[in-house]
Amino acid sequence: MIPEEALQVVLSHFDECGIQYMITGSFASNVHGVPRVTQDADVVIEADLDRLLRFVNGLGEDFYADSDAAKEAFAGNRMLNIVHMPTGFKVDLVLRKERPFSKEEFQRRQQVEFLGRRRWFTSAEDIILAKLEWSKMGQSERQFRDAVSVAKVQRDALDRDYLKKWAEELGAANLLEELFSSLD
């Protein structure tokens, strides 16, 4: 089984447990931009504790997932890691934040064909904004390059007004301007 197939198992299990999700991070920037190798997947989820525990407890023996860690992650609105043991592939589950951008981002998610199935992904604009925010917080050049990659591929389809509005809200307006200038 390749790592992407392990992710498909996780996503199908979300569906079975009634958990809404969106793939974000490098997988989303790969879908909307120029692909690069990644060793994990980031998935934002909306779930109550019962559904989260049903998900964790039902993953099966090929996955490492800890129900106590799930309870702690839920209580503290923190990330939860699960690992596909045969491949070592890690999936970081992020509980959707309550801030306005996170709510809007989740509402704007889009279904994309992924290994023969329709799956929910962050929109191109929202992955750019998330990558700019991560770049700002960690001064990560790789995050900025991912945002530029998506912007170059999606150039004419991007909603620039939406990008400007949320970049301002997220304190990343200067990075967005730098990104726009790299497109010219």
Strand order through the sheet with 110-114: 63-64, 80-84, 89-95, 40-46, 20-24, 117-121, 110-114
Candidate ranges 27-31, 103-107, 116-120; pick with highest mean pLDDT: 103-107
The topology under which CATH files domain 3-121 is Beta Polymerase; domain 2 (3.30.460)
Residue 78 pLDDT grade (very low, low, confident, very high; cuts 50, 70, 90)? confident
For residue 38, what pLDDT is reported?
73
Task: State mean pLDDT over 28-33.
Answer: 85
- Indicate the domain borders of the chain: 3-121, 124-183
For residue 74, what pLDDT is reported?
93
Mean pLDDT of the chain: 91
Task: State mean pLDDT over 118-129.
Answer: 96
Contacts of 76 (CB under 8 A, 6+ apart): none
Task: State mean pLDDT over 23-42.
Answer: 83
Task: State mean pLDDT over 118-124.
Answer: 96
For residue 48, what pLDDT is reported?
94
Residue 40 pLDDT grade (very low, low, confident, very high; cuts 50, 70, 90)? confident
For residue 19, what pLDDT is reported?
96
Task: Choose the weakest-confidence range: 4-13, 42-51, 170-179.
Answer: 4-13
pTM of the model: 0.90
- In percent, how much of the chain has pLDDT > 90? 72
Distance CA 167, CA 120 (A): 23
Whether 164 shows a pLDDT value over 90: the answer reads yes
Task: State mean pLDDT over 90-114.
Answer: 94
Distance CA 43, CA 134 (A): 15
Whether 137 shows a pLDDT value over 90: the answer reads no
Residue 32 pLDDT grade (very low, low, confident, very high; cuts 50, 70, 90)? confident
